[in-house]
Amino acid sequence: MTADVSEFHYGLVTPIAAYLMACLGAVLALRCTTRSIGRGRGEKRFGWLALGAVSLGCGIWTMHFIAMIGFSVDGALVSYDAGRTVLSLAVCIAVVAVGVFLVGYRGSGSVTLGTAGIFTGLGVAAMHYLGMTAMNTGGTVHYGTTAVVLSVVIAVVAATAALWAAVSISAVWATVGASLVMGAAVSAMHYTGMAAVSVHVVQAQAGGQSSTSLLAFLLVMLAGPVAALILAAAIVMFDPEVVGGGRRDLQSDGHREPVAGRSLTS
């Protein structure tokens, strides 16, 4: 039989918390990428881009699994495979890193941005559905084709917009505004994908969703990515150039270095 499913077992607590984590990852990634622009192509630039990629990847992944805390299947106990859950995190960070480094080093030209956006968007969608394969409901999970395709399109558009913003927006408040929009896009992708889900169970189980062990498992899985976001936030907050919104377009020798994807002629 087809079981009733819900995304809001705990009401609006999980979608709001998930959205805020997506926004946090986005704003940290934007500030880190801004910090890298105008630097040389050495270790410091690499480090800021890497921190931005980890922040965005962890923010997206954390949004997904906080939202999944609120997912329930009537008459079924939901559990997750730890290996696939961790693998989905690794996939998310890896594909985001490819996009961030592409635009960070090559700029926001249409070909580069399009390639990076499509690759990253498809990777984020892959993370979502890989994370879903880690879920065990004691039944069979089916997906509606239309909603799946729409969720992938949203992921690609959101990824492209995020990467464009990373190299095109430097003002602090503009970055915050962009991160709010990006958080909404990531959340829209997730809940569109979840709208495609239907679960067929052979026999309903007493008690239904949300055992203490499931909640504990998801919180343990979230601990690492949340800690990474807190660490990234601390690094960003204590860097005056990141907080102040300035791009260091002048190198220590007094010469201008071209900023990726734009001209510095006055």
Highest-pLDDT range among 29-43, 84-98, 203-217: 84-98
SS3 state at 158: helix
Cα 138 versus chain centre, distance: 28
Structure tokens at 4: 């009733």
Over residues 47-96, the pLDDT tens digits come to 899 999 999 999 999 999 999 888 888 877 888 888 999 999 999 999 99
Residues near 260 by beta carbon (within 8 Å), at least 6 away in sequence: 37, 103, 104, 105, 106, 107, 108, 167
E-strand ranges in the chain read 2-3, 5-6, 72-73, 79-80, 135-136, 139-143, 197-201
